[in-house]
Amino acid sequence: MKSKHFVAKFYLIFVLVVLYVPIFYLIYFSFSSGRNMNKFEHFTWMHYQTLFQDNRLLAIFLETILLALLSSLIATIVGTLGAIAIAGLQKKWQQKTLLALNNVLIVSPDVIIGASFLIFFTALGIGLNFGSVLLSHIAFSIPIVVLMVLPRLKELDYSLIDAARDLGANNYQVFSNVMIPALMPGIFAGMFMALTYSLDDFGVTFFVTGNGFSTLSVEIYSRARQGIDLEINALSTVMFLFVLLLVGIYYFITTRKGRKGRKMVGGLIK
């Protein structure tokens, strides 16, 4: 029994190490004074200094985050309403068809979605800039939000809606005071997923970025093609810390309610 337990633990640690080693390898060399990752020379902040003086890269960094926030916010609103509409459909086959169409968009490769957006935008004469990237990010985030919100809707206790109507709420009040709070965990998970999808998307973005606008993933790709620069390592480190912060915020928000509740029990027991 004990050895089995040990094997399981060892396996878990091994998997985690394999997953994290490349990231820490990158971070490690971001502090090397050398020009490449063959050998660690000596400790320096040099690459961070060049990074923070690289206005173009910093602008792209901020724009990428703005894009992610904006696209996930809009996708969450559209996706949540869409999920409510799908759940409200009377006929089972309609629900299943819409859900299947939704899932096709999630499964299909980024290249296909990106290429189709490119054709779509050029056909309509829409310029390739921040707007086109935002539109495509919103589009591929919506199915994810729908998928995260729908299970919540299925679990929703419809007597809650009856209760709210019974207490005098009109349709809008039922929606804002009862449905949205009940769906909140799903909505929040959907928004976070949309945020991460937008942040690390390369495939779709690569097709729909024009001259004036680029996201981090596309920029790093184009720089890496010209040879590895340790400035990218520094940037990756900053990004890693940023993502860590995001995950931290997510956990903080999702567990806050429970902590508030516990505190109140403590307050009452004294």
Partner 1 sequence: MNIIELKHVNKRYDDGFVALKDINLKIESGKFYSLLGPSGSGKSTILRIIAGFSQPTEGRVFFAGKDITDLDPAKRQINTVFQNYALFSHLNVFDNVAFGLKIKKRPLREIKPIVKDALKMVRLEGYANREISELSGGQQQRVAIARAIVNEPKVLLLDESLSALDKRLRKEMQFELRAIQKKLGITFIFVTHDQEEALSMSDEIFVLNNGRIEQNGSPIDIYDEPINDFVARFIGNSNILPGRMIKDYEVEFANQRFKCADAGMKANEKVEIVIRPEDLDITSPEKGKLVVTAQTQLFLGDHFEIKAVDADENEWLIHSTNGCKLNQRIGLYFDPEDIHVMRLHESQKDFNARLESYEDEEHDND
Please name the residue ranges forming H helices in the chain.
2-29, 46-53, 55-88, 92-107, 110-124, 130-155, 158-166, 171-174, 180-200, 203-208, 216-225, 230-269
Query: At its nearest, how many Å lie between partner 1 and the CB of residue 159?
Result: 4
Query: At its nearest, how many Å lie between partner 1 and the CB of residue 79?
Result: 21
Per-residue DSSP letter, 226: T
3-state SS assignment for residue 97: helix
Candidate residues 62, 163, 243, 247; the one interacting with partner 1 per rule CB under 8 A: 163
Candidate residues 3, 55, 159, 211; the one interacting with partner 1 per rule CB under 8 A: 159
177 part of the interface to partner 1, by CB under 8 A:
yes
Decide: 161 and 179 in contact? Cβ < 8 Å: yes
Choose the stretch contacting partner 1; rule: CB under 8 A; options: 50-58, 64-72, 152-160, 245-253. 152-160
38 part of the interface to partner 1, by CB under 8 A:
no
Query: At its nearest, how many Å lie between partner 1 and the CB of residue 44?
Result: 51
Whose Cβ is closer to partner 1: residue 167's or residue 247's? 167
Residue 34: how many other CB atoms lie within 10 Å: 13
Instruction: Count the residues of the shown chain that bind partner 1, applying the rule CB under 8 A.
Output: 23
255 part of the interface to partner 1, by CB under 8 A:
no
Decide: 209 and 128 in contact? Cβ < 8 Å: yes
Cα angle: 174, vertex 176, 181; to 5 degrees:
100
Candidate residues 7, 85, 167, 249; the one interacting with partner 1 per rule CB under 8 A: 167
268 part of the interface to partner 1, by CB under 8 A:
yes
Whose Cβ is closer to partner 1: residue 55's or residue 166's? 166
CA dist 100 and 84 (Å) reads 16
151 part of the interface to partner 1, by CB under 8 A:
no
What's the burial of 62, exposed, middle or buried (CB within 10 Å: 0-12/13-18/19+)? exposed
253 part of the interface to partner 1, by CB under 8 A:
no
Binding site for partner 1 (CB under 8 A): 157, 159-160, 162-170, 173, 177-178, 181-182, 184, 261, 264-265, 267-268
